[in-house]
Amino acid sequence: MTSSTTVDQITQRRRGVGLIAHDPALSAGGYTLIAPQTADGNVYLIDMQGTVVHQWKMPLRAGRHAVILPNGNMGYNGSHPDSPERYAPWSMWHGGDFSEVTPQGEVVWHFEDPGHHHDARWLDNGNLLYAACELVPAGFADRVKGGTAHHPDEPMWGDVIREVNRAGEQVWEWRAWEHLDPSKHPIHPGFGRYHWPLVNGLDVDGEGRVLMSLRTTAGIVAVDKASGEVKLHIPPSVVSHQHAPVALPNGNILAFDNGNFRSGAHVPFSRVVEIDPATQAVVWSYADEMVNAFFTAFMGNAQRLHNGNTHITESATGRLFEVTPAGEVVWEYILPWFAEYPDEAARKTGPGRLNSVFQTHRYQASQLPWLQR
């Protein structure tokens, strides 16, 4: 039997890429910023038709994601070339090389922390809030329950949340093992024990508390910056190994609920949830009517748009879509950029030609005054 030379062997691309659907009357419109994980540092700004209207070429591939800052520049989270390997998926998960870049490509601010992983937030005051990790103190790992079987000598890394100012000076730091009770945050048996609790998403709510998404234990916490105390814990009974908690203007929290090991579900599925932190009730959610048609086991985010719609990133498949409050899909786009990870360590845990993306964000034209339209 000879191999096919006419059939595209990338399943996701074979199903269709680019603009899939668009209802201009119901969509919020705007422009979407995309920093694919395997696009060699290319960052794309597309319009609602899927046309690339602006592009940056960064010297490092995306470690995580890119955003447009209030001044119109791009905040970019690149994969630090000298971040030492900590465990198997580390080269997929870390960023650590941050740049603020003008639309013309000039780097006007740069900061490095090779210990960074997953999320970061460019704050309104110009500071950068991000997740890093360090080895937990001796004996602490014995207090953390759950997780898959591991070698007794396998190290455990714990989360350290840091904030730096424009001078690169650290102005705040929070260590998970100093404030989280490990008995209340066991690792799910489906995850390894090399990283606890794996903070994969950050935001700051209206009270100034830092929201943190705990991946391997499931749940979202809100931390008081002055004391470091946990003031809110949305438990695994509400969310399942989620990403990207976002504080909404109404005080609620929007989150991408991945659904790994979802209790009571016979198939895995993802959803987007809006949670009232006062009652911990889900007050709005989106899931596909055939629930397993919308699922990404890793990454993902959601963004509430100016007209009440929600922009959603189904990361593993490079699928971006917009839904109305009633859950009607009014725009859908599939990333057309496929490639393997350039480094062998990442390819081992993320094999194949991928179009995955950590997070994407939608912007109105008024937020892009430099864009030639």
Instruction: Specify if 269 maps to a domain.
Output: yes
Residue 142, amino acid: D
Instruction: Specify if 14 maps to a domain.
Output: no
Instruction: Specify if 53 maps to a domain.
Output: yes
Residue 70, domain extent? 19-367
Residue 4, pLDDT score: 60
**Which residues are CB-neighbours of 149 under 8 A, at least 6 positions away?**
none
Summarised one tens digit per residue, pLDDT across range 80-134 is: 999 999 999 999 999 999 999 999 999 999 999 999 999 999 999 999 999 999 9
Q: d(Cα 195, Cα 324) in Å, to the nearest integer? A: 36
Instruction: Specify if 10 maps to a domain.
Output: no
Residue 303, pLDDT score: 98
DSSP 8-class letter at 33: E
At 53, the pLDDT band (50, 70, 90 cuts) reads very high
Summarised one tens digit per residue, pLDDT across range 205-215 is: 999 999 999 99
CATH code for the domain of 219 = 2.130.10.10
Q: Are 43 and 33 in contact (CB under 8 A)?
A: yes
Of the candidates 240, 234, 325, the residue with the CA atom closest to the CA atom of residue 284? 325
Instruction: Specify if 373 maps to a domain.
Output: no
Q: What is the pTM assigned to this prediction?
A: 0.96
Summarised one tens digit per residue, pLDDT across range 284-318 is: 999 999 999 999 999 999 999 999 999 999 999 99
Instruction: Specify if 182 maps to a domain.
Output: yes
Residue 286, amino acid: Y
2 vs 358: which has the higher pLDDT: 358
- Number of domains the chain is built from: 1
Instruction: Specify if 359 maps to a domain.
Output: yes
Residue 131, amino acid: A
Residue 3, pLDDT score: 60
Query: Where are the extended beta strands (E) located within 35-154?
Result: 42-46, 52-57, 62-68, 74-79, 96-101, 107-112, 116-122, 128-135
Instruction: Specify if 3 maps to a domain.
Output: no
Q: d(Cα 202, Cα 87) in Å, to the nearest integer? A: 22
pLDDT surpassing 90 at residue 5: no
